[in-house]
């Protein structure tokens, strides 16, 4: 039996969280090796395990994969969580990249200086509610299907749910103006593998605290 994928990252969401989500959605068990101090990262670098001296790194199928998007693409393709043809995949790429643009703004928020936080939060919520969520609400309205692309559960659904939940952590009623997204959120949350991942005790990571953000800075800079 092939060994479980092994994830190397710090014990926070960052650029690994979508990978954790996607593996969980595919029903794949994995191990995590947490980088807790700068020396852990240096050891990985010196050992030649990091192609570009960066994490996330995932040991999978005999590879030491880096670059979070490459890792996500591999997992999506391997576990058939992508589209059925080039055009579905092109659409999915556009959706997923926009979701990741929003996700990156949220990921960087804890690292913003105190005097920039309020403005940054307002920008995140503005982008979510005026640029991204209206598009996905309209997609669901126009095709009337249960899933975002191709009437089939895919990485786009996994990644959209992940970002919806992150925005809700910032403003709990954010979906009030998006009724179809609200129903969609419930539906995707009930996909059995996702439902399991949403239970307490799963590998899903909580929001980064101020203290954890400071620790991450010490590791990575």
Binding positions for ligand GSN, rule: CB under 6 A? 14-15, 53-56, 67-69, 220
Nearer to ligand GSN, 163 or 174 (CB): 163
Instruction: For residue 210, count CB atoms less than 10 angstroms from its CB and return exposed for 0-12, middle for 13-18, buried for 19 or more.
Output: exposed
Question: In angstroms, what is the minimal distance from the CB of 184 to ligand GSN?
Answer: 27
Show the CA angle centred on residue 88, arms to residues 188 and 193, nearest 5°. Answer: 25
CA-to-CA distance for 196 and 174, rounded, in angstroms? 24
Question: In angstroms, what is the minimal distance from the CB of 45 to ligand GSN?
Answer: 7
Nearer to ligand GSN, 11 or 185 (CB): 11
Give the residue closest to ligand GSN by C-beta: 54
Nearer to ligand GSN, 71 or 175 (CB): 71
Question: In angstroms, what is the minimal distance from the CB of 145 to ligand GSN?
Answer: 30
Nearer to ligand GSN, 65 or 194 (CB): 65
Instruction: For residue 170, count CB atoms less than 10 angstroms from its CB and return exposed for 0-12, middle for 13-18, buried for 19 or more.
Output: middle
């Amino acid at each position: 039996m092939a060994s479980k994928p092994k994830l190397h990252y710090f014990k926070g969401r960052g650029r690994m969280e979508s990978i954790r989500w996607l593996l969980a959605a595919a029903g794949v068990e994995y191990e995590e090796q947490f980088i807790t101090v700068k020396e852990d990262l240096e050891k990985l670098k010196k050992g030649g395990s990091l192609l570009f001296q960066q994490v996330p790194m995932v040991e999978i199928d005999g590879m030491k994969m880096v670059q979070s998007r490459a890792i996500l693409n591999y997992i999506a393709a391997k576990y058939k969580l992508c589209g059925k043809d080039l055009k579905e995949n092109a659409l999915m790429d556009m959706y997923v990249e926009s979701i990741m643009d929003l996700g990156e703004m949220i990921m960087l928020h804890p690292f913003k200086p105190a005097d920039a936080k309020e403005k940054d939060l307002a920008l995140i919520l503005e982008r979510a509610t005026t640029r991204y969520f209206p598009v996905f609400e309209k997609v669901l309205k126009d095709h009337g299907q249960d899933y975002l692309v191709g009437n089939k559960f895919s990485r786009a659904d996994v990644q959209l749910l992940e970002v919806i939940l992150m925005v809700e952590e910032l403003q709990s009623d954010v979906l009030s103006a998006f009724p179809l997204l609200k129903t969609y959120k419930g539906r995707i949350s009930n996909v059995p593998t996702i439902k399991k991942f949403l239970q307490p005790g799963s590998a899903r990571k909580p929001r980064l605290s101020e203290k954890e953000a400071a620790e991450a800075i010490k590791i990575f800079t």
